[in-house]
Structure 1
Amino acid sequence: MPEATSTMAPLRATLPTKVYSLTDLGKKALVSPDCTAMCIGRVKVDKVVRFTEPNGAGGQFVSEVSFIASAVDVPDWVRGPEVQKCYNLRVKMADHAQGRCSLVLANDGWIDSSDIAR
């Protein structure tokens, strides 16, 4: 049985695209000029609900913490319904949202375990 071969040329097409540029407000929200991550506010802990007694694990003191928190310093453009829906921020930006984290005791105080390598 002979091998199948193809003589089709690669398809070349021009596709319409949209190009977006940041406004001055967008540029101010960039975490740094060389990345696309944006700061859209901070999280403020309203209340610590409970925590485990700090214990030693792997040479570190660790505590599990449950808390209630709210987003603060959120720009108006982030609070818009289109942005909230597009980036699924309704729950993340809700006032008095419940949260949990693991804290590790570092030389400069208690920090989130996800920040220990930074």
Structure 2
Amino acid sequence: MFMTGCNDSKEASKDNFKAAINQYLGNSCFLVSDNRRGFPTSFAILPKEKTFLSMKDQWKRDAQVRYDALVELGFLKTEINAKKTEKTYYLTEAGQTAYTSEGRNSLSSDRVQAGVCVTRFEVDEVLRFTEPSAKNGYTVSKVSYSVSLAKDEQAKQEKLVETFPELGKVLSSPKGQSAILVLMNDQWVHEKSINQ
């Protein structure tokens, strides 16, 4: 089966770059941050007719819209108190599996934060790459690529894009993704994977 030789994984090719980026994307996700509130978390129920909101109340309303979407997707469940003044969000079993306190958004900020990993990405196509060159003692190449939701996640796409417009922008902008890949002794890796 392995007739192509031992050094193929070190070649600068679209297939090798696709594998390297997918390996990186597999360790991260589209993260809905909880701003380190944790779960369960509660919000005062704001009257629907209240149109003028303070910045704090607007943040709360926006957060609840996102959390309500996570309820529909099966990650959270809710409970309303007897006076109907407060709504509390709890992680479901699926939510407990998807929740992380050290999440990394694969297509935006790589900052570690807490939240629910609602979906994952994979590379559709490597569009182009630079000729490998030396930089800071490494051989590197800049790669442009398009992404889609991972195949087992695609059933959620319509609801996810409706709720999280930033995700829709990512999926409809194939030329917007790029990465620096670094040649190691045995294969190419995403630059952000080197020290992980």
TM-score scaled by structure 1? 0.63
41-50 vs 57-66, greater mean Cα deviation: 41-50
1:37-93 alpha-carbon deviations (Å, 9 max, x no partner) = 3333332222211111111111111100111221113275674255324xx32123x
Hey, what does 2:88 align to over in structure 1?
A: 19
1:58 maps to 2:127: no
Hey, what does 2:183 align to over in structure 1?
A: 105
| Contact 1:101–1:112 under 8 Å retained in 2 | yes
The root-mean-square deviation of aligned C-alpha atoms, in Å, is: 3.1
Name the aligned partner's letter for residue 21 of structure 1.
Answer: Y
Aligned pairs, number: 100
Counterparts in 2 of 1:96 and 1:43: CA distance versus 1, 3 Å = farther
Per-residue deviation, 1:30: 2.2
Give the unaligned 5+ runs of structure 2: 1-42, 45-85, 103-112
96-105 vs 73-82, greater mean Cα deviation: 73-82
Hey, what does 1:68 align to over in structure 2?
A: 146
Higher Cα radius of gyration: 1
Give the unaligned 5+ runs of structure 1: 1-14
Distance 1:61 1:41 in 2: 32
1:41 maps to 2:110: no
Hey, what does 2:99 align to over in structure 1?
A: 30
